[in-house]
Amino acid sequence: MLNRIILVGILAMAPIGFGASSPPPTSAPVYSYRIVNTYPHDPNAFTQGLVFRDGVLYESTGLRGRSDVRRVELESGRVLARRTLLPLFFGEGLAVLRDRIYQLTWTSGVGFVYDRESMELVREFRYGIEGWGMTHDGERLIVSDGSEHLYFWDPETLQETNKLTVRDGGRRIANLNELEYIDGEIYANVWMQDRIARISPETGKVLSWIDLTGILPLADRRANVDVLNGIAYDEEKERLFVTGKLWPKLFEIELVPK
């Protein structure tokens, strides 16, 4: 486990008329944060997935007619390459494993595999759940569907090999959204909450929480900003990227025990 965990985050608020729900009591430890750096982020990107590999970000964005998968420069937020989805698809979770990019869609039951370098479509695949978040542990894809379950898929056959139920104490944690695998733990956004669960991939137990309440300044809270969503990790520099939908900024933060 890292002695010093750095999170780089684009964090999101709930849609206008809604607020992120108050977190229920927890039996797991809770961390707060300190902002280290701030970076620009495309305020029109409805971020559904985020990955950091080889010095750049890979991002999946949602909304029908606006969904894409893109390669993004961290420091400037500039889009370096983009592949747009057909208007019937609502882009969701994203994973980059070896030379492939995997992308889910929300309710279409269709996923896409791209060549990592060219971003050309390699294949399509079908699945029987809603697509929300995606990551991998180096061998298996790990997928969420907005429930309390996590699904493990073989990256070649794209068939389910295992399934976990996530719990904090005796309470099931539903609305699991975007995912990232970091140092043997699964980090998961919880939809409509400003916090991240750190989950054991063996048992589904919540090991700790990261509370990101209040990180976006009031001046940046436009009417259309949405919920906290999207996590990626820079292994070399020990930075974690936490993305949100339609946020204009990306934050690098350091965890602080509460």
Tens of pLDDT, residues 20-78: 555 666 789 999 998 888 899 999 999 999 999 999 999 999 999 999 999 999 999 99
The pTM (predicted TM-score) of the whole model is 0.89
**Residue 1 pLDDT greater than 90, yes or no:** no
pLDDT at position 25 is 66
Are 7 and 198 within 8 A, CB to CB? no
Reduced to 3 states (helix: H, G, I; strand: E, B; else coil), residue 53 is: strand
Mean pLDDT of 88-111: 97
Q: In whole angstroms, what is the distance from residue 35 CA to residue 235 CA? A: 19
Q: In whole angstroms, what is the distance from residue 6 CA to residue 92 CA? A: 25
Which domains can be identified in the chain, with CATH numbers?
6-257 (2.120.10.30)
Q: What is the DSSP letter of 174?
A: -
Distance of CA 13 to the CA centre of its chain: 15
Helix ranges restricted to H, 2-118: none
Are 194 and 202 within 8 A, CB to CB? no
**Mean pLDDT across the chain, nearest whole number?**
89
68 backbone dihedrals φ, ψ, rounded to 5°: -155, 175
Mean pLDDT of 11-25: 47
Q: In whole angstroms, what is the distance from residue 126 CA to residue 137 CA? A: 21
